[in-house]
Amino acid sequence: MPLIELETQIAAPIERVFDLARSIDAHMASTTGSRERPVAGRTSGLIELGETVTWEATHFCIRQKLSVQITAFVRPHLFADEMIRGTFASMKHFHRFAESRVGTVMKDEFHFRAPYGMLGRIAECMFLTGYMKRFLAKRAAELKSMAESDEWRRYITSAGEQCDAEQPLIRDASREGSYDAPSR
């Protein structure tokens, strides 16, 4: 299963970066190349634990849908979205955030598997992994630009204002009913 890892230094508070990364509206603005738009589930605002969103987007000249659920959430350090329906055989994206000297380190950890068995493995090696890495890097650069300018104000009213207090537990929906204490 391919794994893409990216790390982005952002000169902005961790709460702002965390909320931008889970903003449906900021996601649309950061993925204009694929014309992503939410068509079901949470369609605006800040996505929360257990919520779903179905994205419609164009990749490889094909309009397609991808439904994901937020399966882990610890504000402002981590959230994960996992495919529940879509083009991939499987997909899970961990978004991790840590305070740094300059503001925030945002880490993307993207696990995926292409469909179609051996043909899918060949596609992963030949072009899909590179395509997804460029897609995620562009989105991270867009989020960085938003967070480091006043553009973030379009998507969140202020860092943390739209959110509840920090969640004390991580719920991992892939292990139904299980909870883990967050590592600090």
Count of domains in the chain?
1
Query: Buried b vs exposed e over 56-71: b needs ≥16 C-beta within 10 Å?
Result: ebebeeeeeebbbbbb
Within a domain: residue 161?
A: no
Within a domain: residue 90?
A: yes
pLDDT tens column, 66-109: 999 999 999 999 999 999 999 999 999 999 999 999 999 999 99
Within a domain: residue 85?
A: yes
Q: Which residue has the higher pLDDT, 161 or 56?
A: 56
**What pLDDT is attached to residue 97?**
99
**What pLDDT is attached to residue 157?**
80
- Contacts of residue 25, defined as CB under 8 A and 6 or more positions apart, other chains included, come to 44, 45, 154, 155
By CB atoms closer than 10 A (0-12, 13-18, 19+), residue 127 is exposed
Cβ atoms of 68 and 84 closer than 8 Å: yes
Residue 10's CB is within 10 A of a number of other CB atoms, namely 24
CATH number at residue 25: 3.30.530.20
Within a domain: residue 16?
A: yes
Within a domain: residue 32?
A: yes
pLDDT tens column, 144-156: 999 999 999 999 9
Within a domain: residue 169?
A: no
Within a domain: residue 55?
A: yes
**What pLDDT is attached to residue 158?**
62
Q: What band does 178 get if pLDDT is binned at 50, 70 and 90?
A: very low
Within a domain: residue 168?
A: no
Taking Cα atoms as reference points, which of 37, 23, 36, 51 lies closest to residue 143?
A: 23
pTM for the whole structure = 0.84
Residue 132 domain boundaries: 3-156
